[in-house]
């Protein structure tokens, strides 16, 4: 499997794991995002203000939840920042 495909599958698995914690399994609520950061990306696990900022940045269409495409955009930005590709 191609590297990018693996990364995307991993992203989807991670997204699904946290998005499924409350009613709507197609999006991340702020609490679910906080959980995800806390467990998967401890470096990003900041205070509430920081979380609010991240959430606002992720929620591109401002509907109060983070969809998978919004999450992928964020992850791609992170990967570029960390030079993971
Ligand atoms: Ca959204």
57 CA distance to ligand 1 middle (Å): 10
The pLDDT, as a whole number, for residue 70 is 95
For 8, the domain range is 3-81
Looking at residue 43, which CATH number applies to its domain? 1.10.238.10
Whole-structure pTM value: 0.81
Q: Tens digit of pLDDT per residue, the chain (85 long)?
A: 788 788 889 899 999 999 999 889 999 999 999 999 899 888 777 788 988 988 998 999 999 999 999 999 888 887 788 775 5
15 CA distance to ligand 1 middle (Å): 14
27 CA distance to ligand 1 middle (Å): 8
62 CA distance to ligand 1 middle (Å): 5
78 CA distance to ligand 1 middle (Å): 18
- φ, ψ dihedrals at 11, nearest 5°: -60, -45
Q: What is the domain count for the chain? A: 1
- 72: helix, strand or coil: helix
The pLDDT, as a whole number, for residue 85 is 53
The tokens for 11 are: 């992203």
- 3 state SS for 10-62: HHHHHHHHHHCCCCCCCEECHHHHHHHHHHHCHHHCCCHHHHHHHHHHHCCCC
């Amino acid at each position: 499997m191609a590297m990018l495909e693996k990364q995307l599958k991993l992203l989807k698995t991670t997204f699904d794991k946290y998005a499924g914690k409350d009613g709507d399994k197609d999006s991340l609520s702020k609490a679910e995002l906080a959980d995800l950061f806390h467990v998967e990306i401890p470096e990003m696990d900041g205070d509430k203000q920081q979380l609010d900022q991240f959430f606002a940045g992720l929620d591109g269409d401002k509907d109060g939840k983070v969809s998978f495409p919004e999450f992928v955009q964020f992850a791609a930005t992170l990967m570029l920042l960390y030079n993971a590709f």
